[in-house]
Structure 1
Amino acid sequence: MNRTIFCFLVMSSWAFLSQAQRVDRQIGELIEAYARLGKFNGSILVAAHGKTVYQKGYGYQDIRKKTLNNAATVYQIASVTKTFTATLVLKLVELNRLSLADKVARFYPHFPKGDSVTIEQLLSHTSGIPNPESEVNPKTEVGSDEDRFLAAFKDRTFDFSPGTDWKYSNSGYILLGYIIERVTGMSYYDAVRTYLFTPLRMNHSGFDFKGLASPDKATGYWEYPESDTVQAATLINFEGPRAAGAIYSTIGDLYKWHQGLQAGKIVGLPLLDQAYQPVKSSYGYGWIIDSVAGAKVVWHSGDIWGFKSELARVPADDICIIILNNIEEVDLHSITRKILSILYHQPYQLPARNRIQLSPSNLQEYVGEYELRPGEWIKVTVEQNRLKSTTNRKQELYAQKKDFFLVDDGKEHLGVTFNRNDSGQVTNLSFTLGTRTVVCPKKE
């Protein structure tokens, strides 16, 4: 080998090693800060350019048994399942067994608006199919799961005409699961195992988490488990969320998922690139689309009783962030954005926290809806003595002093002020974006 080339390669490897060590320290400091605040209890893996730069478990897998989370811990991943369902649909498209333009009526001639709703619309949440008002109970209702699911839409009104708007629809993905069954002739679960899990050797992933007997199985908690008296969350049967959120997995298996997608092992890269293009509201086919430092980020989060999950990828730079938690009260996307800032050498802040603790009666004064813009509202609620704001996602408001809070959006701490009238009643909230102050009146 040419001496100059050899020296360059050695220097490059040293530079990457040095950078990886620095990134490892920064990520560790970040996650440990969240863990100390009770905002992280789970497992994390961060990889870049084919190398794992950070991997660690935090907190209790099961506080009563005093087992700790680690790389082998098994978690429910909830709606990260949608990345699998969408990819399986694309695999069937690649095999010419399905088309993105196919109508639901091809499979279900009597489904409402079935001659208007396409596979692509189901993938991108633009079908207008509403979520059922209540869950069906397979033990008390007659017919198959599929029959009961379809019957729930018989008298329901669509949220909008197919293709004209966007609204997140678990029902749309459950319907995709049933369509997969019709196309493949096997159950959705067997189809995922056959086309996705088995080729990628994802041996620690499955569906029936409630029935899973494994020493690595995490117990889900509503809040950070500080003592063995903390209440465990009720487990939801996998036949409820189905193709919208039934999968359980580990950080190791999800990294295999990333690697398989990167290499085009399951679906060809041109079709995957199509999945990474936003259709509406920054959503593609099973992926939310964002960017960092000019590079495209594709990600999805998951939330089911007792568990939160997030998978974020930068395909162009072979970056993968996997965060799995067995507590409900966490904002994983803020953590993801900060890790991306670390990887791309951008500024970030350690997590915001409550400087003071307000009484339940004080917190109730802020509860209500605040108009962000015509027809769009910020909903402020109190959950487990914590103030939360909900727009397109739910975030905690951290009290710094009476009437002044911080929202941690993953890039910066946004100050939010609740303003009162002369009688002391909260009338609006305000925050500053750049040089502009935004005032949001409270609904009376």
Structure 2
Amino acid sequence: MKTKLLWVLILLAQTFYAQDLTGSWKGELDLGGTQLPLIFNIKKENNTYTSSARSPKQGDKIITVDKTEFTNNELIFEMNELDASYKGQYKADHFEGTFTQRGRSFPMNLFKNNGTEKSNPKDEKLKDIGNREINTAKLNDYFNYLTQNKQGIGSISIFRKGKEVYQNDFGQDQLPNVKWDSNTRYQVGSVSKLFTAIMLMQQVEKGKLNLSDKLSKYYPDVPNADKITIETIMNHTSGLGDYAGEHYQWLFKRPVGDKVILDTINAQGVEFQPGEKTRYSNSGYYLLSRILEKVAKKPYNVLLKENITSKAGMKNTFSVLDDPKNVFRGYENENGIWKEVEDFDFHNCVGVGDIVSTPNDLNILINALFNGKFVKKETLDKMMPKPGSKVVFGLGMMAVPFYNQVSFGHGGDTAGSHAVTSYSKKEDYSVSMVINGENYPHNTLSIGVLNIIYDQDFEFPKFENTKETAAYNGELKKYIGDYTSPDIPLDLKIFVNGDKLFAQGKGQAEFPLELVEKDQFGFEKAGIKINFFPEKNQMQLLQNGKTYNFTKK
């Protein structure tokens, strides 16, 4: 029993008293050469923790933290708005943990923010682009570097004052058996919602639709339909659920039909009353797209052609209802090899995420929108996100902040592609990009592009050799398992997280194991060495001059 107590004392961090948790905590994410600070402000009322967050380099707006939990020295934040979370373990004077967003994880430590740190030159406001030319040579170097390291496949277009000043198709040569050309289209996911919003506002201008119309006018059977308005659906404050949310694979194989989707939306019900909160809702935009068709009395693809693509001269933009050809599939990188990703049957996402386009066409779209080609200025003003408002989204429009600079547009993700289009009114420039082969996170890649556009100091990210990493991870798998010992009353779990091996005693904190030599690992802080004998499913743990034998269950 004493041995187990010694183990616990060595491996667990010192006790962290609850009264020290409240206040401001600051961490930094390393996003490929860019440091992105995050600040959490924690409060405690009636033995319950609440918190908020902000990102000084991304507009510094308040980010809602939906869950704050502190148990056994472990701190957990959940931010549904960002599809992100943080989990950290207290270590002496700070938290060591991981920030996770949309399946991507980044190490991040949090330190008490006493407000006395000196300002960082990198936190200063960005200078406007003005008349300066965009550094296209560095952009080429950036995308060539990413391609050489098999980090991405996609296409980017940049417009200044309505004309294309940069275009790059990158990484396609990594797919030697796939045919593509300059007119190959990409799935743009939820950027489709911007198209839908524009066409809805056109109907508002014609007097065929009102933002104050109740959902019950069109779909009376949807829960809370008599309280939900067109406007609250458009800005994601309706309270509706998400039929294409976390478990979306049921929409992959074939068209499931309107009735099945509507039944799913009805069964999901509502999560809150209209206007109380913001929750991104694909269900809402599915209903809006069907309402658009009812009001205009035409199919979605016909409306798209008549009201947007023909008006703006967009030759490579289509709905799935047009049965478009020459469409790039999505890919993911597995151990250095690009493999095709199974994606939606986009008939299940008409008006929500079905549109195919090119970055050039998306730039034509966003420039035409802000220059009055689709709707009047006063209508566009209604669509814009409102500065300082608790409502994050506009009407089919979102803000894209970068330091003190803000552009406007929309992003979109499918299972295999990631798209964004945004326009800066202040600078009269737009960036549109689609990634259909992601290894390096697309958000981080975009931050690199913006750093170059705004002439910031920016170091290209460092990548490990993919094959070596894969081989190393494959080697680690032979150690994974649950181990028990006749010498000590402690079960030990060995597992891999990312590219590292970890150990965890039952009911205790996990700790990393560093490779010492073949089949031998150590945790120096606690004076622990572990020798594995994988062929026997056994291991030995050495600590304080004692040896403990373990056998895999």
TM > 0.5: yes
Judged with a 3 Å threshold, the aligned counterparts in structure 2 of structure 1 residues 402 and 312 are, in CA distance, closer, same or farther, namely farther
| Correspondence 1:163 to 2:271 | no
Deviation at 1:211, TM superposition (A): 4.4
Distance across 2 between alignment mates of 1:112 and 1:190? 30
For 1:339, the aligned partner's letter is V
For 2:415, the aligned partner's letter is W
Report if the CA contact (8 A) 2:330-2:415 is conserved. yes
Residue 351 (structure 1) aligns with: 461
Distance across 2 between alignment mates of 1:419 and 1:317? 53
Residue 367 (structure 2) aligns with: 259
Residue 259 (structure 2) aligns with: 147
Distance across 2 between alignment mates of 1:137 and 1:218? 17
| Correspondence 1:28 to 2:140 | yes
Residue deviations 1:116-167, cap 9 Å, x none?
Answer: 11111111111111123664799797xxx33332222333331222211111
Deviation at 1:340, TM superposition (A): 2.4
Choose from 204, 226, 229 the match for 1:115: 226
Residue 80 (structure 1) aligns with: 191
Choose from 385, 402, 412 the match for 1:302: 412
Deviation at 1:199, TM superposition (A): 0.9
What aligned pairs does 1:34-433 form with structure 2 within 5 A after superposition? Answer: 34-60=146-172, 63-65=175-177, 67=179, 71-132=182-243, 135=250, 145-208=257-320, 211-214=323-326, 217-223=327-333, 230-278=338-386, 280=390, 282-292=392-402, 294-354=404-464, 357=469, 359=473
Judged with a 3 Å threshold, the aligned counterparts in structure 2 of structure 1 residues 168 and 419 are, in CA distance, closer, same or farther, namely farther
Tell me the SS of whatever aligns to 1:296: strand
Distance across 1 between alignment mates of 2:464 and 2:174? 27
Tell me the SS of whatever aligns to 2:199: helix
Distance across 2 between alignment mates of 1:212 and 1:106? 33
Judged with a 3 Å threshold, the aligned counterparts in structure 2 of structure 1 residues 33 and 196 are, in CA distance, closer, same or farther, namely same
Tell me the matched-pair count: 358
Distance across 1 between alignment mates of 2:252 and 2:341? 20
Tell me the SS of whatever aligns to 2:135: helix
Deviation at 1:62, TM superposition (A): 8.2
Residue deviations 1:251-271, cap 9 Å, x none?
Answer: 221121122112110012232
Judged with a 3 Å threshold, the aligned counterparts in structure 2 of structure 1 residues 137 and 220 are, in CA distance, closer, same or farther, namely closer
Judged with a 3 Å threshold, the aligned counterparts in structure 2 of structure 1 residues 306 and 115 are, in CA distance, closer, same or farther, namely same
Query: Which shows bigger deviation, 127-136 or 318-327?
Result: 127-136
Distance across 1 between alignment mates of 2:142 and 2:442? 12
Report if the CA contact (8 A) 2:193-2:352 is conserved. yes
For structure 1, which runs of at least 5 residues remain unmatched after alignment?
1-14, 366-380, 388-400, 404-417, 425-444
Higher strand share: 2
Deviation at 1:364, TM superposition (A): 12
Deviation at 1:225, TM superposition (A): 10
Judged with a 3 Å threshold, the aligned counterparts in structure 2 of structure 1 residues 226 and 158 are, in CA distance, closer, same or farther, namely same
Q: What RMSD over aligned residues (CA atoms) do the two structures have, in Å?
A: 3.7
Residue 27 (structure 2) aligns with: none
Report if the CA contact (8 A) 1:364-1:382 is conserved. no
Report if the CA contact (8 A) 1:310-1:324 is conserved. yes
Distance across 1 between alignment mates of 2:141 and 2:514? 30
Deviation at 1:89, TM superposition (A): 1.5
Tell me the SS of whatever aligns to 1:127: coil
Given the two structures, how large is their TM-score scaled by the length of structure 2? Answer: 0.57
Report if the CA contact (8 A) 1:321-1:336 is conserved. no
Residue deviations 1:54-85, cap 9 Å, x none?
Answer: 111112278253545x5422111111111111
Residue deviations 1:321-350, cap 9 Å, x none?
Answer: 111122144422223233223223333332
Query: Which shows bigger deviation, 119-128 or 327-336?
Result: 327-336
For 2:442, the aligned partner's letter is L
Deviation at 1:104, TM superposition (A): 0.4
Deviation at 1:37, TM superposition (A): 2.4
Judged with a 3 Å threshold, the aligned counterparts in structure 2 of structure 1 residues 185 and 339 are, in CA distance, closer, same or farther, namely same
Tell me the SS of whatever aligns to 2:320: coil
Judged with a 3 Å threshold, the aligned counterparts in structure 2 of structure 1 residues 239 and 386 are, in CA distance, closer, same or farther, namely farther
Deviation at 1:402, TM superposition (A): 5.8
Given the two structures, how large is their TM-score scaled by the length of structure 1? Answer: 0.70
Judged with a 3 Å threshold, the aligned counterparts in structure 2 of structure 1 residues 297 and 180 are, in CA distance, closer, same or farther, namely same
For 1:125, the aligned partner's letter is H
Distance across 1 between alignment mates of 2:372 and 2:443? 26
Judged with a 3 Å threshold, the aligned counterparts in structure 2 of structure 1 residues 421 and 53 are, in CA distance, closer, same or farther, namely farther
Tell me the SS of whatever aligns to 2:437: coil
Residue deviations 1:23-74, cap 9 Å, x none?
Answer: 1112112222222222221111112223322111112278253545x54221
Report if the CA contact (8 A) 1:46-1:321 is conserved. yes
Distance across 2 between alignment mates of 1:98 and 1:423? 69
For 2:238, the aligned partner's letter is S
Tell me the SS of whatever aligns to 2:208: coil
Tell me the SS of whatever aligns to 1:109: coil
Indicate the percent of aligned positions where both proteins have the same amino acid.
24
Tell me the SS of whatever aligns to 2:378: helix
For structure 2, which runs of at least 5 residues remain unmatched after alignment?
1-129, 480-494, 501-512, 516-522, 530-553
Deviation at 1:235, TM superposition (A): 4.4
Distance across 1 between alignment mates of 2:524 and 2:380? 48
Residue 376 (structure 1) aligns with: none
Tell me the SS of whatever aligns to 1:65: coil
